[in-house]
Structure 1
Amino acid sequence: MKLIALVVSTKHAEVAIRRLIELHLLHSYAKVHRAGHYVYLPLVSVPSDALLPPYRIDSFDFEELPQRRTIKDILGYTPSFDAIGNIAILPANSPDPPAEAEAILSTQKNIHGVFQSIAPVSGEFRTRILTHIKGECRTKVKYQEYGLVYELDVAQVYFTPRLATEHHRIAGKVVSGVVVDMFAGIGPFSIPIAKKNPNTTVIAIDKNRNAVQYLKQNIKRNKTKNVCAVIADSMMLPLECNIASHLIMNLPHSAHQFLDEALRIIKNEGIIYYYDITAEDDLYQTSIQEMQTHAAESGCSIDVISQHVVRSYSPHHYNICIEARVHNLTFKDN
């Protein structure tokens, strides 16, 4: 059957498939085609999504699959859920968790267990409170992203698969120097950076001991010896001043509380990647002003290099990233 095809490299295929499923754009009655180093994904329509990995659009004659029931066929709608490894996590506002779990398990053969997050991510370690709905009752999984494999327990550590493209994007930004990941979790920013850029030294910090335990396992699993895992509170880092060439602040809602410490350890001309959750009528300005205020109080200034929406977070709110270069730190105390 002749369809529009989204063509990606094999290393990007898993992320692209996951994103197309979220967008309901992957054709369910056509077989994915692999040809050499590329994968052809059958589309319902052409995507307009910036969060997809690099791709080109083509036309391809796909092998037709026997028609099978989809989640939408069963429920009459497509529920929102996160697939992490072989478990699915429904949001707290799911209208019918038992029915949705049954539909997911009967149509998604790679999913073995379904849970529901009964409250938003919260607490000191940003963890989910999960209740088991159906299938296997275990929260420890292996998750693959851009060819890297992570082990984690979704009940003990924070993780979202919705930042896969952002993890890959940031890894492409760094070439050398010292990178400090202030809220590293299990390593989805730190490990790709280290893998792609062996000349870097990545200092991956988290105060959740469970997260750092998995981080160390993932460093070993992915053979990234240039990552140093540190258990610490990023409000008071065990690091010298002016050490970081790049600094990642992926703690939306709360990153502003750590700006003073970030500005203490960033080098002159270093770059901060600052993440926030903002309203659609004020995507960047308030966050930039917050950064500028803290910079002035620290005796330095910032220039915004880029700003972009990472993903939709909730109705009228977005997860954004501001990339800023820091200046005039040379006179700060060492």
Structure 2
Amino acid sequence: MALVVSTEHAEVALRRLIELHLLHSYAKVHRAGHYIYLPLVSVPDDAFLPPHKIDSFDFEELPQRRTIKNVLGYTPSFDVIGDVAILPSTSLDPSAEAEAILLTQKNIHGVFQSIAPVTGEFRTRILTHIKGECGTKVKYQEYGLVYELDVAQVYFTPRLATEHYRIASKVGGGVVIDMFAGIGPFSIPIAKKNPNTTVIAIDKNRNAVQYLKQNIKRNKTKNVYAVIADSLMLPLGCNIASHLIMNLPHSAHQFLDEAMRVIKNEGIIYYYDITTEDDLYQASIQEMQTHAAGSGCSIDVVSQHVVRSYSPHHYNICIEARVNK
């Protein structure tokens, strides 16, 4: 069974199938003209796949190679950013897992472990080196864009790649404010995909803004303006943003009053939160409604969806809301 997409949409589809664990690893991806055939474990049911069709196809089998699961007997959880792998604090056996990763993943040159959850004012990881090279500066590629960063100095997760692409595809025109921009994974694709849009990318971590400026230059997105500032006190006028991104799960609610000040009438807020499976959206919507009312506004929920699983029984969600002034 194959998912057939145009070459234009192949990377998006490939990433999404990998995230959903639906890409067959023992069959070779096939190209025929302007179309790519991706081998499926099963037929996906997902709204965030690009235009595609499902077709039968006889794929060439790949020779089975040594995998992490073959070595360990299980597949550990880890993030890959550039040529660095980061194990979670809950890793069962960091040394053995690092050795298996380096043995089977030739693109990875160093393995670290995050010894505590992402924490602090700048949401940085506390890392300890396990095996391989010990450098933390990397280059990371996502949907044709290249980002430089230091995984020990700035916050970044590759698990939002599909969400970065989704928002860039929805947002266009006017002024976009990215309140917690980091190294630019929302701001830069928005600017690249929408050259007539002005993107104001804000972060209070000077290291993040330094890399943001490098990434703006590297990806030739001159319509992104990097600003070092605390989003509780934005150095901006009122009613200027047509779209506003609030990707600061756990803490975004603290910035809603300032968001209501800078958003235009009928502007859209993309609000991210971490919620429980018992109440995925309602508490977050109520929080937005309360702050809107306190600012003399109201909101209409345009859409709501689960971005990813965050931890057992907890989810990273996004609420898209229109602000009425």
- Normalised by the length of structure 1, the TM-score is 0.92
Q: Which moved more, 1:71-80 or 1:245-254?
A: 71-80
Choose the corresponding residue for 2:40, options 21, 43, 63.
Answer: 43
1:52 is displaced (CA, Å) by: 4.8
Choose the corresponding residue for 2:163, options 145, 163, 166.
Answer: 166
In structure 2, what is the equivalent of residue 178 of structure 1? Answer: 175
Using a 3 Å threshold, how does the CA distance of structure 1 residues 210 and 274 change in structure 2: closer, same or farther? same
Choose the corresponding residue for 1:214, options 207, 211, 216.
Answer: 211
1:71 is displaced (CA, Å) by: 1.3
Amino acid across the alignment from 2:177: V
Q: Is 1:309 the counterpart of 2:306 in the alignment?
A: yes
In structure 2, what is the equivalent of residue 332 of structure 1? Answer: none
Choose the corresponding residue for 2:111, options 111, 114, 120.
Answer: 114
In structure 1, what is the equivalent of residue 273 of structure 2? Answer: 276
Q: Give the secondary structure class of the aligned counterpart of 1:61.
A: coil
Q: Which moved more, 1:67-76 or 1:303-312?
A: 67-76
In structure 2, what is the equivalent of residue 7 of structure 1? Answer: 4
Amino acid across the alignment from 1:206: D
Choose the corresponding residue for 2:71, options 63, 74, 97.
Answer: 74
Amino acid across the alignment from 2:258: E
Using a 3 Å threshold, how does the CA distance of structure 1 residues 95 and 308 change in structure 2: closer, same or farther? same
Q: Which moved more, 1:275-284 or 1:129-138?
A: 129-138
Identity %: 89
In structure 2, distance between residues paired with 1:314 and 1:153: 25
1:243 is displaced (CA, Å) by: 0.8
- What is the root-mean-square deviation in Å for CA atoms of aligned residues? 1.7
> How many equivalent pairs are there?
325
Query: 2:22, 2:40 within 8 Å by CA — same for their partners in 1?
Result: yes
Query: 1:271, 1:325 within 8 Å by CA — same for their partners in 2?
Result: yes
Q: Deviations over 1:117-150 (max 9, x none)?
A: 1111000000111111112211111111111111
Query: 1:14, 1:145 within 8 Å by CA — same for their partners in 2?
Result: no
In structure 1, what is the equivalent of residue 148 of structure 2? Answer: 151
Query: 2:29, 2:59 within 8 Å by CA — same for their partners in 1?
Result: yes
For structure 2, which runs of at least 5 residues remain unmatched after alignment?
Answer: none
Q: Which moved more, 1:26-35 or 1:157-166?
A: 26-35
Query: 1:51, 1:311 within 8 Å by CA — same for their partners in 2?
Result: no
1:1-334 matched pairs, under 5 angstroms:
4-50=1-47, 52-328=49-325
In structure 1, distance between residues paired with 2:88 and 2:4: 31
Using a 3 Å threshold, how does the CA distance of structure 1 residues 132 and 13 change in structure 2: closer, same or farther? farther
Q: Deviations over 1:170-226 (max 9, x none)?
A: 111122000000000010110111111111100000000111011111111111110
Query: 1:75, 1:103 within 8 Å by CA — same for their partners in 2?
Result: yes
Q: Give the secondary structure class of the aligned counterpart of 1:158.
A: coil
1:46 is displaced (CA, Å) by: 2.8
Q: Give the secondary structure class of the aligned counterpart of 1:172.
A: helix
In structure 1, distance between residues paired with 2:19 and 2:304: 24
Amino acid across the alignment from 1:69: R
Q: Deviations over 1:301-320 (max 9, x none)?
A: 11111111111101111000
